[in-house]
Structure 1
C-alpha cells in the first residue's frame, strides 16, 4: 500500500504551521514534507514531529529570495558560494529533524544566462551537495518542474533529469518524480514511472489541472497507485496539492489508504 506524506506548506492551512503536524497525524498521515523549515527553529519543528509521532520525509534547501521570485540557485552561475552555504544550512536542519532527503532547487535561468554554463554549474553544485549530504546518510533530490507554473525553471522533464543525474554520477542523487509536473510536461505517466523506478527517490502527487486533490482532473491516480505498488516502489508519496476547501473535507480520495478526516 502506498505511504502518503502530507505537504504542510499546502495542506492544513486552516492551522498555524506548527499545529499542522498534529492535524495531519489525526487524519492518519505518518509522514510529512514541506517546502522550507527555516522560519522556525529546528528544535520547535522536531518537537512538533515527535509530539505527533510523524516522520520528516523531505524539505528543500534554502531557495534564495523566494518572495522576490527566486526558486533556488543550483543552476545559477556566480552563486556557487551562496549555494554551498544553503547546503550546510539544510544539513543542519536535516540532522535535527532526522530528515533523510533534501531537494536542491535548480533556479530560474533568465534569458541572459547561457544554458550550457548553467548546466555545468548545476552539475558541479549537485556533485558538491551530494557529497556533502552523503556524509550524513542523506539522499539529494533533483525535481523537474513544469514550465507553465514556473517559467524559466532550469529543469523541466524527467528525461532532462536523468541526463543531469548521469553527468553528476553520484549514487545518492535521485529523481524527485512529481506526477503533476510530469503530466504537464511529458505525459505517458505509467511508462515513465516504470522506466525511472531505479532513479526515483521520492514521488509527489496533485490533480491536473489545478493542482488540487488527486481525485480531480485527468490523471487516474487509483491506477497509478496500484502500479506504484506493482513495480515495487516502497518510498513515500508526498501530497503536494492545494486543497479546494478545508483540507479534511477533501480527503475522501485517501480513505482506501488509511487516511481520513480524522
Structure 2
C-alpha cells in the first residue's frame, strides 16, 4: 500500500511553514517533503518534524538565487564553489531531520552544451560521494519544459543515462509522474522500465498540477503498479490544491494513517 508524504511547499499553505508539519500529521500523513528549508534554522525544522511525529522524505539542495529565477547550479560552469558550499548547508538539515535523500537541481542551461554537461557530471560525482559518506541518496529529477522552460534535465531517458553513467549506488532517479506524463506520456510503461533506478516518486494531476484524482495519469492503476513492483518508499504529493488543502484530501482517505 503506498505511503504518502505531503509536500509542504505546495500543500498546507494556509499555515505558516513550521506549523504545516503538525497540520499534515493531523490530516493523516506520516511523512513530509518540501522544496527548501533554508529560511528556517535547522533545529526549528527538526523540532517541527518531531512534533508531528513525521518522517522527512526529501528536500532539495540549495538552488542558487530562487527569487531571481535560478533553478539549481549543478550544470552551471563557474558555480562549483557555491554548489559545494550548498551541500554543507544542506547537511545541517540532514542532521536535524534524518532525511535519507536529497534532490540536486541542475539549473537553466542548454542540455546539449558540452560545458554544461561537464559541469553537471562533476557536480553529480562530488555530491554523490559527499552525501554517500552520510548515507544519503542523491536524486536526479527531469522537469518538464512547460513548468520550467530551459531546464537542463528535461527528459527521463537523459536522466536515467546520467544515473547509470554515475555508477554509484546512491545516485537514483526521482520519478515524478506528473512531469513524466507531460514530457513523455505512458507513465506506467516508463515506470516499469526505469523502476530499478527509482529512489523517490512524486505525483500530481497533469491537468493543472492539482490533486491526483483525475484520469491523466491513471493514479489508481499507478498506485497498484507501485505495489506490484514492491516500491518501499514514500510517494510525494507535490501538487497545488484546487481550493483548500483539507478540502481536497478526499482522494487520500483510504491511505491516511488514521484510517
Name the TM-score class by shorter chain: over 0.9
Q: CA deviation at 1:114?
A: 6.3
Matched residue, 2:236: 238
TM-score by length of 1: 0.96
Q: State the alpha-carbon separation in 2 of the partners of residues 16 and 259 from structure 1.
A: 23
Please say if residues 9 and 35 of structure 1, whose CA atoms lie closer than 8 Å, have aligned partners that are also in contact: yes
4+ residue stretches of structure 1 with deviation over 3 A?
none
Identify the residue that residue 131 of structure 1 maps to in structure 2.
129
Shift of 1:217: 4.9
Rounded to whole Å, the distance in 2 between the matches of 1:22 and 1:248 is 13
Instruction: Report how far residue 258 of structure 1 moved.
Output: 2.4
Deviation of the 1:166 alpha carbon = 2.2
Q: Does the CA-based 8 Å contact 1:165-1:173 persist in structure 2?
A: yes
How far apart are residue 216 of structure 1 and its match?
Answer: 2.9
1:71 and 1:100 map into 2 onto residues whose CA distance is: 22
Say what the alpha-carbon RMSD is for the aligned residues. Answer: 1.4
**Are residues 1:251 and 2:252 paired?**
no
The TM-score normalised by the length of structure 2 is: 0.97
Aligned to 1:19: 19
- Long gaps (5+) in structure 2: none
1:65 aligned to 2:65? yes
CA distance in 1: counterparts of 2:255 and 2:93, whole angstroms = 30
Q: Map 1:1-262; keep pairs closer than 5 Å.
A: 1-109=1-109, 115-258=113-256
Tell me how far apart the structure 2 counterparts of residues 83 and 40 of structure 1 sit (CA, whole Å): 20
1:131 and 1:56 map into 2 onto residues whose CA distance is 21
Query: 2 CA distance for matches of 1:214 and 1:240?
Result: 10
Contact 1:124–1:168, Cα closer than 8 Å, also in 2:
no
Gaps of at least 5 residues in structure 1 are none
Equivalent pairs counted in the alignment come to 259
Q: Could you list the per-position Cα deviations for residues 53-111 of structure 1 after superposition, in whole angstroms to 9, with x for gaps in the alignment?
A: 0011110011001010000000111111111111111112111211111111000006x
Question: Residues of 1 paired with 2:134 and 2:246: CA distance?
Answer: 36
What SS does the aligned partner of 1:257 have?
coil
Q: Secondary structure at the match of 2:151?
A: coil
Partners in 2 of 1:247 and 1:147 — Cα distance?
Answer: 26
